[in-house]
Amino acid sequence: MRTHAKYKVSCLLAAALVLTGCGSGPAGGDVEQDASAPLELWTRTTPGGPGEQGTIKLAAAFEKATGHKVKVTAIFDDFETKMQQRAAQKDLPDIVMNDVAQLGTMQSQGLLREIDLSKVAAAKDVSERALAAGKAVDGKQYGLPYSAQATALLIRKDWREKLGLKPPQSWADLAAMAKAFTEKDPDGNGEADTYGLAAPLSTKRGYASWYFSNFLWAAGGDFVADAGGGKYKPAMSTPESVAAMQWFRDLGCKDKVIQPGAVTMDTPPTNETFEAGKAGLYVVGPYLLPRFDKALGKDKYEVMAMPKGAKSAEVLAEGGAVYLMAGSPNQAAQDAFAAFAISAEGQKIGMEGEAAYIVQLPVNTTVDIAQVRPDPRWKTFAEAYQTSGRYAPSLPNWTPVRQASAETVNALVADCSLDLKAELGKLDTKLAAVLTEQGIAAS
């Protein structure tokens, strides 16, 4: 364990392992600085896996370019618990590479220091969409996205061509294709064993609302609506949200084109459903291309942008961010690492390889994905991100919003007798309580 003179992260409530109210400024700013101190970097990924390998590769290139030493630790299980334990010990790592969606939680707990973009070279080259995702509800920069992703539509091309169908251009086309894939034996085995849409609709980690967001936002609906001034209001019972939920629910309850057991599935079994030839449509990010290429073959499926919904073609955008942790004795090296990760060189290093890559889509606008990955399918995902990608808002804690929404979406698809409007009204009541608890409810 490291110890540093004058290391102080104020407002630590060690007994509860919760930090609050400390995220408004550069926490740990009074720590004695040591320009030679090595950086400890935590990445939320499986130890020994390709994510760890890719991070080590990036860290090694950074060390070679700058001389700053970096020790990489990969943690997946109980990542948040271990982070809180280190916070209680007043010994946070210097850098954390974690999901963009974790920004609100980490910032509201006082774990992060504010990022001064003027000290981060190449920040000017990062897309506005990515930079905005790194801002907390107070409008200040606490995360620096280094990797982005957005969803697109995977289609069993062989099924589509066998049935003489054109690529879907609207939600009506999408529903019709899902129905055809379910009813017209696209695999030709004479069995009624195929379905239209693969969908992870479990309540586990909020998967149901995570997936449904692709349809909700495109219809003009929302989980919570921005009311301005850092305040939000519930939005799941608006006409747009109700219409989106009704359309999606009909896929399962009326048309029966969603794979059986979807309401108990998270992504691993849903991935297996698509690659096993049990479903012909899947809305997902680019990270599964290598897997499906191997399992299905590149010639069996195709990638296209999601058809436009009632209001837009907005789809879920996500990614990873570099977080500069409070209390570091080497803030200059923290800034330098963030700068390297988003530089053209760092982005290209992060994208290289068949498996051990940590950058899905570049956030640096000077990097052309086609030059690093000539496969045009990756460009389809990149264009979806650039034109239609939408991140979840950086609330102090997005998790309870996602979880409450997932439970309602899951219930409405699992039980077709439930009153849809009534359930969405109940959900808005829960969301109002969540927003009030976090101090961001619109009056």
Measured over all CA atoms, what is the biggest interatomic distance in the chain, rounded to whole angstroms? 73
pLDDT of residue 6: 31
pLDDT of residue 5: 34
DSSP per-residue codes, 2-47: ---TT---TTEETTTTEE-S-TTS-TTTTSPP-TTPPEEEEEES-T
Q: Which CATH class is domain 152-316+396-437?
A: alpha beta
pLDDT of residue 355: 80
Contact (CB, 8 A) for 352 and 344: no
Q: What is the residue whose two structure tokens read 């498996």?
A: 355
* Strand order across the beta sheet in which 152-156 lies: 195-198, 279-284, 152-156, 301-304
Element (H, E) at 106: helix 103-108
Predicted confidence (pLDDT) per residue in 322-342, tens digit: 999 999 999 999 999 999 999
The domain covering 36-150+318-390 belongs, at the CATH homologous superfamily level, to Periplasmic binding protein-like II (3.40.190.10)
| Residue in 66, 85, 94, 102 with CA at minimum distance from that of residue 18 | 85
Domain with CATH 3.40.190.10 in the chain: 36-150+318-390, 152-316+396-437
Query: Can you tell me whether residue 146 is helix, strand or coil?
Result: strand
| Residue in 243, 84, 74 with CA at minimum distance from that of residue 171 | 243
Q: Which residues of the chain fall below pLDDT 50?
A: 1-29
